[in-house]
Amino acid sequence: MRYVEVCGAKVSTIGLGTWQFYAPEWGYGRSYANEVARPLVQRALDLGITLIDTAEIYGLGRSERILGEALGDRRDEAFIATKITPVLPLASIVEQRARASLKRLRSDRIDLYQLHWPNPLVSDGPAMTGMRRLLDAGVVKHAGVSNYGLARWQSAELALGAPVLSNQVRFNLVDRRPLVDLVPFARSEGRLVIAYSPLAQGLLGGRYDADNLPSGAIRRASPIFQPESLRRAEPLIDALREIAKSHQCTPAQVALAWVVRHSNVVAIPGASSVEQLESNAASAELELSDTEEGQLSTAAERFEPVGGAAVVQGLASSAVEAVRSRLSR
């Protein structure tokens, strides 16, 4: 495993995302929480993965609870990143919600406490006052944000009066927008971009095509998993496969290596099995050449998924199909 050190925090370049730990929307069923989540966490620690990401909103607290249980007496080996849902981000509420997360996590500290997204109606001043108190009390080690643009990340720092360690954003070969300003900012100022959906929710693993769609509502509703998008993604997946072949690895590993090849960037892939986690951890060691980076960027630039209107249309026609087939039975 490789590690990145910024602002006194040391985290593994490949982490583990735990939205899947209790999420019917991923379609993994109840057995995932009982049978997969614990071995995933234990194996992650064995492999040197320290960064484990969760949020109070995942399974309405269940992901945090499952993570706390799964860590057991190995809590100190992990760098726990959780998130507050900033619906009413007042200082006292931030403090109270952090303490509720701590209970679920069975811990006395949160290594990274992130505002899950920017509240469009309330500035970050009050939330950062709460964050400051949590930092001063030693309950939170680092403050972070998620889904923030650069200007708001910087203004959150002003409100906190200290570095906001990280910004957790979608960053993968399909969505490369963080390269415009967030990644350069993290690099020049010694901050961290935490890449979520680094595998584009599994698309870049190359397992799916128009005849083999993924499970669960979350991906069925996503523009990139519509059959037409999957057809359009074929050249990108082929590019991943070709590079993977020359490194004797998998397309998913190449996709992850592309993300963490950028300095001050770490990735938090979710996993549906221990085998996937092991493969993801190994991608930290994979080094892509500039030529391979160029090939991937060219293929990625040419991929344009279908737009939102097509998704709504697609979902509506599948719903009509489902009703029709029920009526005709």
Ligand X SMILES: NC(=O)c1ccc[n+]([C@@H]2O[C@H](COP(=O)([O-])OP(=O)(O)OC[C@H]3O[C@@H](n4cnc5c(N)ncnc54)[C@H](OP(=O)(O)O)[C@@H]3O)[C@@H](O)[C@H]2O)c1
Using CB under 6 A as the binding rule, whether residue 82 contacts ligand X is answered as no
Using CB under 6 A as the binding rule, whether residue 166 contacts ligand X is answered as no
- What's the residue count for the chain? 329
Q: 3-state SS of the chain: helix, strand, coil percent to 5?
A: 55, 15, 30
Alpha-carbon Rg for the chain in angstroms: 20
How many other CB atoms are found less than 10 A from the CB of residue 263?
10
CA-to-CA separations, 231 to 26, 124, 210, 234, 253, in angstroms, rounded: 22, 42, 6, 6, 21
Using CB under 6 A as the binding rule, whether residue 13 contacts ligand X is answered as no
CA 136 – CA 306 distance, rounded (Å)? 47
Q: Would residue 3 show up in a list of annotated catalytic residues for this protein?
A: no
Using CB under 6 A as the binding rule, whether residue 200 contacts ligand X is answered as yes
Using CB under 6 A as the binding rule, whether residue 153 contacts ligand X is answered as no
CA 6 – CA 12 distance, rounded (Å)? 12
CB of 296 to ligand X, least distance (A): 16
Q: Which runs of consecutive H residues, i.e. helices, occur in 201-307?
A: 217-220, 227-232, 234-247, 251-260, 274-282, 290-302
DSSP 221: T
Q: Which of 101, 107, 129, 146 binds ligand X (CB under 6 A)?
A: 146
Nearer to ligand X, 230 or 271 (CB): 271
CB of 145 to ligand X, least distance (A): 10
By the 8 A CB rule, do 189 and 264 touch? Answer: no
Nearer to ligand X, 155 or 197 (CB): 197
Catalytic residue among 28, 58, 148, 196: 58
Nearer to ligand X, 13 or 201 (CB): 201
Total residues binding ligand X (CB under 6 A): 28
Site for ligand X in 111-130 (CB under 6 A): 116
Nearer to ligand X, 87 or 320 (CB): 87
Using CB under 6 A as the binding rule, whether residue 45 contacts ligand X is answered as no
Using CB under 6 A as the binding rule, whether residue 50 contacts ligand X is answered as no
The DSSP bridge partners found for residue 209 are 212
Q: Would you tell me which residues interact with ligand X (CB under 6 A)?
A: 17-20, 53, 116, 146-147, 168, 196-202, 205, 207, 214, 252, 268-272, 276, 279-280
Active site residue ranges:
58
